[in-house]
Amino acid sequence: MANNDVTLVLNVLSYRGQPPAEAVSARFAGEGGTLGRGQDSTLVLADPDKYISRQHASVTRQDGTYYFADCGGNPSIVNGQPLGGGASIALSDGDRILIGDYLLQVAMELPPPAPPPAPLPEEELATIVKIPAGFDPLATLLAPVPAPASTAADGAVLQALLNGLGLPALRPGQSPEQLAETVGAMLRAAVGGTMSVLMARALTKRESHIDMTMITAQANNPLKFFPDADSALAQMLGSRIPGYLPPVEALEGAFDDLRAHELAVIAGMRAALAAVVQRFDPHRLEQRMPEPGHLDKLMPAARKARLWDRLTELYADLARDADEDLQRLFGEKFSAAYEQQVARLRAPLSTHP
């Protein structure tokens, strides 16, 4: 937007998926400003995890156009497109920027309009506004109403919608407009719910130190990399950004990943539980004890008592480790079984594209 009087405003829409308790925004005009967790930033983005750099990005204005430049250690995402590496991009009204767990929206603020001109004197109005002779103010009201346009195009659109639903012979119980609105609302709910479950999957993988899905040059799933259902639907149904899957493939791919995740979690839990049970194996406890001595042979109950003491010590160690470092205790077994199960499930897909 090439206008030197325009001020760019960045509004925080959400943090970790939740809207802020109070409105958070920053105005950028003149020489622009910076974004980051540093207190001297124009827009301060508090981040206890330090994913966001002290000066993560900057906003500058050149020839009336605002530019967003990424200068942090981790890439920012503008309208679903990752930047990083010092790259910059021109900003427009309504653009969305994802920095860490913050979702921002761009607003271009125009200067207030100029005051209206003073009214003309009645003498001047009389010379400007002249009513032609024979003018009939009711003539346009009595003009015939044009016939409605053909509904053939509407019928074709409705049939295309039914074909897409796989129900070409369905007789809707609603008007075409109501049906389209219902289907749109269903699609939005499905996309939003799918993205929410994918986010939970990503959190599980991160907590278990399992490799995360990374953005690549092509075949990226917008349901994984866009911050919310609005931006994902806009990408899939509006102006498509290169490098992302088509809409149907994106949904099918998301469901395949979620099915694999559920089965892999079960496999991981079984492996972790088996590792815990194995630590209490009586045979292993017996092997860790010293060879039976003369006293043990005379008093077998004494050895059994020492085995019981060892069992209680092992339980105390296990409980302490579970409280302090669950990942070290169970994580390796869980992660290995998880990744093996996912690899087994994906193997048929790679051999039969």
List the chain domain ranges.
Answer: 7-109, 265-351
Residue 149 has pLDDT above 60, yes or no: no
pLDDT value, residue 352: 42
More confident residue, 252 or 323: 252
Distance CA 165, CA 12 (A): 37
More confident residue, 150 or 267: 267
What pLDDT digit, counting tens, does each position of 113-145 carry?
Answer: 767 776 656 555 455 556 666 666 666 555 566
What pLDDT digit, counting tens, does each position of 269-280 carry?
Answer: 888 888 888 877
Residue 182 has pLDDT above 60, yes or no: yes
Distance CA 271, CA 294 (A): 40
Of the chain, the percentage scoring pLDDT greater than 90 comes to: 30
* Least confidently predicted of 141-155, 203-217, 247-261, 279-293: 141-155
* Token pair recorded at residue 223: 């349901």
Amino acid 59 reads V
Residue 99 has pLDDT above 60, yes or no: yes
Tell me the helix, strand and coil percentages in the chain, rounded to 5: 45, 15, 40
pLDDT value, residue 26: 94
State mean pLDDT over 103-113: 87
More confident residue, 57 or 320: 57
Q: Can you state the angle between helices 176-207 and 247-279, rounded to 10 degrees?
A: 30
More confident residue, 327 or 251: 251
Q: Pick from 64, 57, 60, 62: which is nearest to 43 by CA? A: 57
* Token pair recorded at residue 220: 């990226």
Residue 158 has pLDDT above 50, yes or no: yes
Distance CA 59, CA 102 (A): 17
Q: Pick from 101, 87, 140, 94: which is nearest to 15 by CA? A: 101
Residue 302 has pLDDT above 80, yes or no: no
| CB 247, CB 236: distance < 8 Å | yes
CA–CA distances in Å: residue 144 to residues 134, 137, 141: 20, 15, 8
pLDDT value, residue 326: 60
- Assign domain 7-109 to a CATH class: mainly beta
Type and span of the H or E element at 65: strand 65-70
| CB 254, CB 221: distance < 8 Å | yes
pLDDT value, residue 351: 47
More confident residue, 104 or 212: 104
Residue 350 has pLDDT above 70, yes or no: no
Count CB-CB contacts under 10 A for residue 164: 11
Residues 6+ apart with CB under 8 A from 158: 172, 176, 179, 180
Kindly indicate the confidence band of residue 31, based on its pLDDT and cuts at 50, 70 and 90. confident
Q: Can you state the angle between helices 176-207 and 229-237, rounded to 10 degrees?
A: 120
Q: Which backbone phi and psi does 239 adopt, to 5 degrees?
A: -80, 105
More confident residue, 297 or 256: 256
